[in-house]
Structure 1
Amino acid sequence: MQWILSVFYFLLILSVFTVILVDKGDSGRKFAWLLIIAVLPVVGLVLYFMFGINYRHHWIFNRRHQRYRDIFEAGTTPELNRILFGHDNVSAVKEEFRPLARLLGADSYPSVTSGNDVEIITSGQRKFDLLREDILAAKESIHIEYFHFGNDKGSKEIKRLLMQKAREGIKVRFLYENIANFPIASAYYNNMRKAGVDVVKFTNPRMHVLDFATKLNYRNHRKIVVIDGKIGYTGGMNINDHYFRQWRDTHLRMTGDAVAVLQYTFLDSWLTGGGTIDKPMIDFYPMVKKPAPATETEASATEPKTLVAEPVEVTGCANHIQDNVNSMVGEPCRTAGSATGDADSEIDFHATHPILKGKLMQIVPDEPDLPLPILQMSYEWALQHAKKYIYLQTPYFVPTEPVMDALKTAALCGVDVRLMLPEVADNLLMRPANRAYYEEALQAGVRIFLRKGEFIHAKTFVCDDYLSSIGSANLDFRSFAINYEVNAYIYDEQTARMNKGIFMYDLRQCHELTLEEWNARPWYSRILESFMRLFAPLL
């Protein structure tokens, strides 16, 4: 018996070595795993299955998503395929940004959609109010996919509304990340099921060791709401009072064809996670139907009811709001001074922002079992092709080597690269991990701004007064290589200027970190940062 176990163990080690060697990933990373397994065979194997396997292969994607692909392909139409994957709108993108649009839409990834109305949400209370209104107004379906759905006051109110709508006969599908919400008791979700809400755990490892090990490290980090197939939400805000009342974050509410891509992304996660659907696939996409003439009441059903509840506070509004007055809804602007000495406009993130009409948007889902690390590639492209500036916000700064190199290259080429981070991360481990990369970035000329006060959880960038990104992905290894994420890319000058103005207003609460100041930190901080950098891919 012992010799059989020895042979099995030898073959297992040999098989793992072969898998690592034939993998097309980074050579240094492969060598590190080979060394770990050679020195600590049993522990090394477990760690490799948990953290080391490269899932970015077509065959893995096909196997995991085959059920969804079969159902979608059986029920789609040429018109729906055109909306999701057609390239008709790429020509409307500014010429120098078309290569990015083609990159993000390559290899059957969703393409650019047009005619989207967007509200940028920078107040948690605003998101809560809008979401509450839209849930109450739902007529057919409510689809919810969240990394974290809490059990505090605000979360329970959203939960109560979902249960209420389910009892009214509205189809409510609720998909949650099981591991991230592990502290919440199962009874919390069972109450929703009893009310008629369909509840599915996304990450639900089976009990055998191999399946548990390979799924434990992967998280569905997306934040998606789709209501009646017509209204969509995505961005950085989870359902939690931290986001509704305490933290500074950025989210989007949208109507238009971009909602079809959010619906497509949700249904993929829903069916892949074990959920079911009870009607033809095409019925989830009302934008491909020929609607009857809408009454005045129906036409206003997708418009937020409290759109102009607060004034929009900006500076230099004559420069960039007046230019677009015909396509923008908003209150008269009033000026505010710049705390940074820059002449750039500022837009108060506490304000309710006007709806931006008819925008080009590209919704980009990414996940570890897709063949391309598409979000990482998009950040690389934006940094490599920025001409004047690129301003980035992220709560966690643990970049992959290609993104770090692109950041440094852009700064060294004279691009104004600004990186905004929280002064103190909310996660104890992330504090030294974030700081481990400061020196390298500062030496290359990247300007780092540490935000005081409210914890900033926004995941955004704006580039050259045209390209904006708002989504769920942090600027870290986990978002680019491990998590299930979704970002929205908006190709539009008006939107970019608004996002830039919001960034400039956030600078009021920031302290710019200098290289001299950073070099004066204690020696023990340097050691801790260097140690934590070793574990960056696992954080």
Structure 2
Amino acid sequence: MLNKVFKFLFHRIVLVALSMLIQIGALVIVIWRFNEYFVYFYAFCVLLSLLAVLWIINSKSNPSYKIAWIVPILLVPIFGGIFFLLFGNNRLSRRERKKMAGIRERVNSALSEEWSIVNIIAAEDQNAANQARYIEKYAGAPVFSNTYTEYLTPGEMKFQRLKEELRKAQHYIFLEYFIIEEGIMWDEILEILVEKVKEGVDVRVIYDDAGCLFTLPYRYDRKLESMGIKCCVFNPFIPVLSFRFNNRDHRKIVVIDGFVGFTGGINLADEYINAYEKHGHWKDASIMLKGAAVWNLTVMFLSVWDFLRKDNTDSNYDAYRPQVYHPEPFPDAGYTQPFCDSPMDDEAVGETVYLNLINKAKRYVYINTPYLIIDNEMVTALTSAAKSGVDVRILTPHIADKWYVHAVTRAYYEVLVESGVKIYEYTPGFVHAKTFAVDDEYGVVGTINLDYRSLYLHYECAVWMYRTRSVYQVRDDFLETLNVCEQITLESCRNVPWYVKAIRAILRAFAPLM
């Protein structure tokens, strides 16, 4: 018992929290000690808050995000401007911008030979070509043909396929994950990775430090390095008040020899494969790619690795082009376009891709999402599509992983349902899949939730698909899952107690900051 207490007290999150409290306390003491100058300090803070509000109003941020910041700044002007500078202003330093510019040049060079297929799509469907062209231009991700895609759900299926493909690796294995946790899933994968290192395979791992704060020991990267696995930690969680806490690497990417790739919602932790019950049955999804389009995932990984690794000299991305090619075209391959989204480029690629799919839909839009915390543009798109006769269905969890986030999700039900959107909750447990299926033609599988964090603050990735066999797999799985779901009715939305509605309304106002 005593050991558990000491372990908790000296856990990194406790030390970080204490450090931040000390910093806040120090600020309060400074104000108190220099109370005779308080009027000047107060005037300075008010001026700073007003300048912050003016900057927010004139920024390119989403209007809901602006309002969520403006309200607390004006309510508490003495601290509002300071906190916005610390947590609300996403800007790279000059050194980082210079480094990113060099990486962007290498990315563009590595992908420059792949910019012609969109013209082939245009001959088939101009609408599809326009969507692919947007992703090419604003995510820097070309579209590919001749790529096999396989939709994998639930997490147990992805786990088995991943182990099979990892064992086949001959040249390199790249893994980039938001969460890695020691347990059944990661231990089995780690065993394979160690074996591959002994065979001379180049194995690299990137994990997000905040995502792994409670799941991995401190400096776990050193342990991996001692095993021969190269490792980088994304945005290390340090006890200093900083806006960088907001920007996390939420991507889940596996690349094997540049020919096989995985992405989707599934992290490397046991709840994702239902090895233990955390929030009921965990429903998740992933997509496996084989073929040309994996090159996009390879370049995505290498660009982040290039940014994080201080001693990195592997700036020639072409050296990692696949050395194994599929001799014959894949049947029913269609067109595949893996893409990434960054919070640093003032372009909400993930949201725009989703909006394009909803606005251009003719027959149906089927959506899996763990969180439904959306802005006015997304609400308008969903309700307008439903009012126009498009069959819009959204599947969300019944059992929450975070009660306050689930409360905000449910706050959007009424306005959507009364417009004709059909909403279902997955009664066995928690849905963590992030998928779109549209008109038997389009599909998206990736890491991008329908919430402000994914759409505006996190580094994300997904795969846009047009006329691939996996689009039907996403659709069929969605329809089959509805058999164990409860449909939300307008009556049930309106019968919610007034105090619950009040709590949801308050939480919804600050949803962009959650």
TM over 0.5: yes
What's the offset of the Cα at 1:234?
0.5
What's the offset of the Cα at 1:86?
6.9
Task: Select the residue among 221, 232, 248 that pairs with 1:189.
Answer: 221
Deviates more, 1:427-436 or 1:506-515: 427-436
Aligned 8 A contact 2:181 2:269 in 1? yes
Report the residue type matching 1:83 in the other structure. E
Tell me the distance in 2 between the aligned counterparts of 1:520 and 1:76: 54
Task: Select the residue among 256, 269, 276 that pairs with 2:291.
Answer: 256
Tell me the distance in 1 between the aligned counterparts of 2:208 and 2:506: 29
Tell me the distance in 1 between the aligned counterparts of 2:107 and 2:359: 40
- Asked if 1:389 is matched to 2:425, the reply is no
What's the offset of the Cα at 1:414?
1.2
Tell me the distance in 2 between the aligned counterparts of 1:26 and 1:249: 29
Aligned to 2:88: 52
- Asked if 1:81 is matched to 2:112, the reply is yes
- Asked if 1:272 is matched to 2:304, the reply is no
Deviates more, 1:507-516 or 1:14-23: 14-23
Classify the secondary structure of the residue corresponding to 1:118.
strand
Aligned to 2:392: 417
Aligned to 1:98: 129
Task: Select the residue among 440, 444, 464 that pairs with 2:415.
Answer: 440
Tell me the distance in 2 between the aligned counterparts of 1:366 and 1:62: 21
Classify the secondary structure of the residue corresponding to 1:371.
coil
- Asked if 1:155 is matched to 2:186, the reply is yes
Tell me the distance in 2 between the aligned counterparts of 1:39 and 1:123: 45
Task: Select the residue among 333, 336, 340 that pairs with 1:365.
Answer: 340
Report the residue type matching 2:451 in the other structure. D
What's the offset of the Cα at 1:280?
5.2
> 1:440-466 CA deviation, whole Å, 9 max, x = no partner?
111111001111114221110111110
Aligned to 2:245: 216
Aligned to 2:467: 492
1 or 2, which has the higher helix percentage?
Answer: 2
Aligned 8 A contact 1:420 1:449 in 2? yes
Tell me the distance in 2 between the aligned counterparts of 1:392 and 1:62: 40
Aligned 8 A contact 1:398 1:437 in 2? yes
What's the offset of the Cα at 1:108?
5.9
Aligned 8 A contact 1:142 1:227 in 2? yes
1:45–1:162 CA distance, 2 compared to 1 (3 A)? farther
Aligned to 1:312: none
Classify the secondary structure of the residue corresponding to 1:114.
coil
What's the offset of the Cα at 1:360?
0.6
Deviates more, 1:43-52 or 1:256-265: 43-52
Aligned 8 A contact 1:46 1:213 in 2? no
- Asked if 1:481 is matched to 2:459, the reply is no
| Residue-pair matches, total | 471
Report the residue type matching 2:457 in the other structure. I
Aligned to 1:534: 509
Task: Select the residue among 203, 207, 212 that pairs with 2:235.
Answer: 203
Tell me the distance in 1 between the aligned counterparts of 2:429 and 2:370: 11
> 1:270-294 CA deviation, whole Å, 9 max, x = no partner?
222335544452444424x7x7xx8
Tell me the distance in 2 between the aligned counterparts of 1:496 and 1:119: 9
Classify the secondary structure of the residue corresponding to 2:150.
strand
- Asked if 1:431 is matched to 2:406, the reply is yes
Classify the secondary structure of the residue corresponding to 1:186.
coil
Identity %: 30
1:520–1:3 CA distance, 2 compared to 1 (3 A)? closer
1:389–1:224 CA distance, 2 compared to 1 (3 A)? same
Q: Structure 2: which 5+ residue stretches go unaligned?
A: 1-33, 275-280
> 1:472-526 CA deviation, whole Å, 9 max, x = no partner?
0111111111111111111006433222111111111111111012222223322
Aligned to 2:167: 136
What's the offset of the Cα at 1:19?
2.9
Deviates more, 1:81-90 or 1:116-125: 81-90
Task: Select the residue among 495, 498, 503 that pairs with 2:478.
Answer: 503
What's the offset of the Cα at 1:123?
2.9
Pairing of 1:320-331 with structure 2 (within 5 A): none
Aligned 8 A contact 2:49 2:80 in 1? no
Tell me the distance in 2 between the aligned counterparts of 1:18 and 1:533: 23
RMSD (Å), alpha carbons: 3.0
Classify the secondary structure of the residue corresponding to 2:333.
strand
Tell me the distance in 1 between the aligned counterparts of 2:230 and 2:115: 26
Classify the secondary structure of the residue corresponding to 1:265.
helix
Aligned 8 A contact 1:229 1:286 in 2? yes
Aligned 8 A contact 2:448 2:461 in 1? yes
Aligned 8 A contact 2:143 2:337 in 1? yes
Give me the TM-score of the superposition, normalised by structure 1. 0.79
Aligned 8 A contact 2:155 2:273 in 1? yes
What's the offset of the Cα at 1:235?
0.8
> 1:28-62 CA deviation, whole Å, 9 max, x = no partner?
7546644533442343134323543355xxxx599
Give me the TM-score of the superposition, normalised by structure 2. 0.83
Aligned to 1:451: 426
- Asked if 1:468 is matched to 2:443, the reply is yes
Pairing of 1:283-362 with structure 2 (within 5 A): 283-287=318-322, 357-362=332-337
What's the offset of the Cα at 1:383?
1.2
Aligned 8 A contact 1:142 1:170 in 2? yes
Report the residue type matching 1:136 in the other structure. R
Aligned 8 A contact 2:45 2:79 in 1? no
Aligned 8 A contact 2:68 2:510 in 1? no
